[in-house]
Amino acid sequence: MNSATLNRVIYQCFSPYGISLQKEAFNFLKESISDLNLNSVKDVQSWLTSVASEVLSREFSLNLKKKDLELIFTELINKSASKDLVVDNNKTTADLKDINPYFQVIDLFNITPIKNLIGCQGNEFLIFGMLTEMVEGKIHLEDPDAYVELSFNEISEKGPGVYTLNCFVFCYGYYDDEKIFNVSKIFMPPIEDREQTIMSQDFFVGKKEETFQDIKDLKLLENSFDVSIVILSDVWLDKPIVFTKLRTMFEGYNDNPPLAFIFIGSFISTPYKMDGSDQDNYTESFNHLADLISEYPSIAKASIFVFVPGSNDPLNSQQEILPKKQISEIFYFKLKLKVENLIFTTNPCRIKYFTLELVIFKDYFKNRILRNCIFSPEEKNGELQTQFLKTVLSQAHLVPLPTKLRPTYWMYDHCLRLNSLPHLLCLADIGETFWDDTLAKGTIVCNPGVFSNDFKFLFYRPSENTIEAAQIP
In which element (H, E) is residue 467 found?
strand 466-471
Nearest 10 degrees: CA dihedral of 270, 273, 276, 278?
-10
Establish if 371 belongs to a structural domain.
no
Task: Indicate whether 119 and 85 sit together in one domain.
Answer: no
Identify the CATH number of the domain in which residue 180 sits: 2.40.50.430
Task: Indicate whether 315 and 256 sit together in one domain.
Answer: yes
Of 63, 93, 123, the domain-final residue: 93
Of 64, 93, 122, the domain-final residue: 93
pLDDT for res 91:
35
Task: Indicate whether 215 and 160 sit together in one domain.
Answer: no
Identify the CATH number of the domain in which residue 59 sits: 1.10.8
Establish if 141 belongs to a structural domain.
yes
Residues forming beta bridges with residue 229, ordered by sequence position: 260, 460
Task: Indicate whether 179 and 311 sit together in one domain.
Answer: no
Cα 408 to chain centroid distance, Å, stands at: 18
Of 187, 218, 247, the domain-final residue: 187
pLDDT for res 219:
66
Task: Indicate whether 54 and 86 sit together in one domain.
Answer: yes
Task: Indicate whether 145 and 292 sit together in one domain.
Answer: no
Closest Cα to residue 188, out of 165, 160, 166? 160
Closest Cα to residue 419, out of 385, 443, 438? 443
Task: Indicate whether 161 and 21 sit together in one domain.
Answer: no
Closest Cα to residue 155, out of 167, 170, 142? 170
Integer Cα distance of 73 and 51 in angstroms: 8
Whether the Cβ atoms of residue 416 and residue 400 lie closer than 8 Å to each other: no
List all residues 6 or more positions away from 404 whose beta carbon is below 8 Å from its beta carbon: none
**Which residues of the chain are modeled with pLDDT < 70?**
1, 12, 15-18, 37-39, 59-60, 62, 77-109, 199-224, 316-319, 379-382
Task: For 406-452, give the DSSP string.
Answer: S-B-GGGGGGGB-SSPPSEEEEE-SS--EEEEEEETTEEEEE---HH
Integer Cα distance of 438 and 199 in angstroms: 21
Establish if 384 belongs to a structural domain.
no
Integer Cα distance of 397 and 322 in angstroms: 13
Establish if 385 belongs to a structural domain.
no
Integer Cα distance of 152 and 186 in angstroms: 9
Identify the CATH number of the domain in which residue 318 sits: 3.60.21.60
Cβ burial of 464 (10 Å; 0-12, 13-18, 19+) is exposed
Instruction: Give the domain range for residue 265.
Output: 194-363+398-471
Whether the Cβ atoms of residue 183 and residue 124 lie closer than 8 Å to each other: no
Structural domains in the chain (count): 3
pLDDT for res 406:
87
Task: Indicate whether 130 and 33 sit together in one domain.
Answer: no
Establish if 434 belongs to a structural domain.
yes
pTM of the model: 0.74
Integer Cα distance of 65 and 41 in angstroms: 24
Pairing of strands 260-264, 229-233: parallel
Establish if 139 belongs to a structural domain.
yes
Task: Indicate whether 304 and 353 sit together in one domain.
Answer: yes
Establish if 381 belongs to a structural domain.
no
Whether the Cβ atoms of residue 347 and residue 310 lie closer than 8 Å to each other: yes
Integer Cα distance of 159 and 189 in angstroms: 10
Query: Which pLDDT tens digit goes with each residue over 369-417?
Result: 888 899 888 766 557 888 899 999 999 999 999 988 888 988 899 899 9
Residues forming beta bridges with residue 358, ordered by sequence position: 351, 424
Task: Indicate whether 230 and 355 sit together in one domain.
Answer: yes
Task: Indicate whether 172 and 242 sit together in one domain.
Answer: no
Establish if 376 belongs to a structural domain.
no
Task: Indicate whether 139 and 12 sit together in one domain.
Answer: no
